[in-house]
Amino acid sequence: MEKVVVGISGGVDSAVAAYLLKKEGYDVIGLFMRNWDQEANNDINGNPNIENNVCPQENDFKDASLVCEKLGIPLYRVDFVKEYWDFVFTYFLNELKKGRTPNPDMLCNKYIKFDKFIEEAKKYGAKYIATGHYANTKDNKLYRAKDLNKDQSYFLADITSSQLTNVLFPLGSLTKPEVREIAKEQGLVVADKKDSTGICFIGERNYQKFVSNYLKKNPGDIINVETKEVIGKHTGLMNYTIGQRRNVGLSGDKDKHYVCGKDVDKNILYVAFGDDNKYLYSDQCLIENINLISDKRLNKCTAKFRYRGEDYPVELEYLDDNKIMVYYKEGVKSVTPGQACVLYDNDECLGCGFISDIYKDGKKLWYI
């Protein structure tokens, strides 16, 4: 009987993944990862925030324990708080300081769930590890899940081919409704549990309030990118992302407006008005810190510039091993520095790079 360690999060997806593997005859062990220290939610003076006194992580562990008890499998707990802080959260803060929009979930997969977790699983003599991700893998390659609405290959695009060795994704051929139905049939307590949303360590908390615990607020001007007029005040560039429309700070303006750029040196937030404003679009970008899972080096493929974004046809120019210029002649709205550009060949996820410079008509955009 092959042994597999399953990452049990306290949610329905990992619970059903564990059930399916046990049903297939694996010797299943559950492992709960503690990645965040609740005291890290204190404010900059070390005082606890009242809204953070209840730790969702502890509630998740209780649910994970109930699931494993129901399935008749052991559950262990491992602490990756230091590693998460060093490899994921520090990166998150550094990217915000640069005016970029980071994707910490991708770093969590790369450095925690498919690195430190694998090391821990080996201590239990496991040949395989498994998670509740919606994705597929074959021959150390990564593919989209059957349920394209829940597909998580985007978030897995920064892991390597070697990290996919002996990894199982039991939910890859299922839809979310099917997963919930299985959980109900098996009487799992998490069958109707709400999916977690947002950045994992922030959860349901107010984003701006959370970030202000770590980065000092630095208000500045909001400027109309077309007229160059000052039209408001922002609360700090780290609180905004390219393409953002809500909570920009122009409450009296009825026209649709979007964040279209940032000047970190001058502390300026640029805003464009109208859904199809030319300042929202670009036609090429430079991506760096390249990770290619596949050995294919295609010149044409498709790309996602954000999770749940659509696939765009692109052409690739390989500048070196760590930089690719991505061309999208149709034009794409709100391509965002710091986010991942994930490359696909039909259903195969080729890998990714992180968006750096953005261009239009061959010129780097001055307002981003």
Q: Residue 32: enclosing H or E segment and its boundaries?
A: strand 27-34
Q: Rounded CA gap, 332 and 334, in Å?
A: 7
Residue 301: active-site member = no
CA dist 104 and 95 (Å) reads 10
Q: Which residues neighbour 206 within 8 Å (Cβ) at sequence distance 6 or greater?
A: 51
CB neighbours of residue 118 within 10 Å: 18
| 3-class SS letters over 283-326 | EEEEEEEEEECCCCCCCEEEEECCCCCCCEEEEEEEEECCEEEE
Query: Exposed, middle or buried: residue 188 (CB in 10 Å: 0-12, 13-18, 19+)?
Result: buried
CB 151 within 8 A of CB 348: no
Is residue 365 helix, strand or coil? coil
Query: 237 in helix, strand or coil?
Result: helix
Tracing tokens 């003599």 back to the chain, one arrives at 125
Active-site option among 55, 68, 108, 285: 108
Alpha carbon distance 357, 367 (integer Å): 11
Strands 3-7 and 27-34: parallel
DSSP H helices in 123-205? 153-156, 176-185
Distance CA 47, CA 39 (A): 9
Q: Is 55 a catalytic residue?
A: no
Q: Are the C-beta atoms of residues 270 and 257 closer than 8 Å to each other?
A: no
- Contact 21/45 with Cβ under 8 angstroms? no
CA-CA distance, 29 to 228, in Å (whole number)? Answer: 59
- What are the catalytic residues? 108, 200
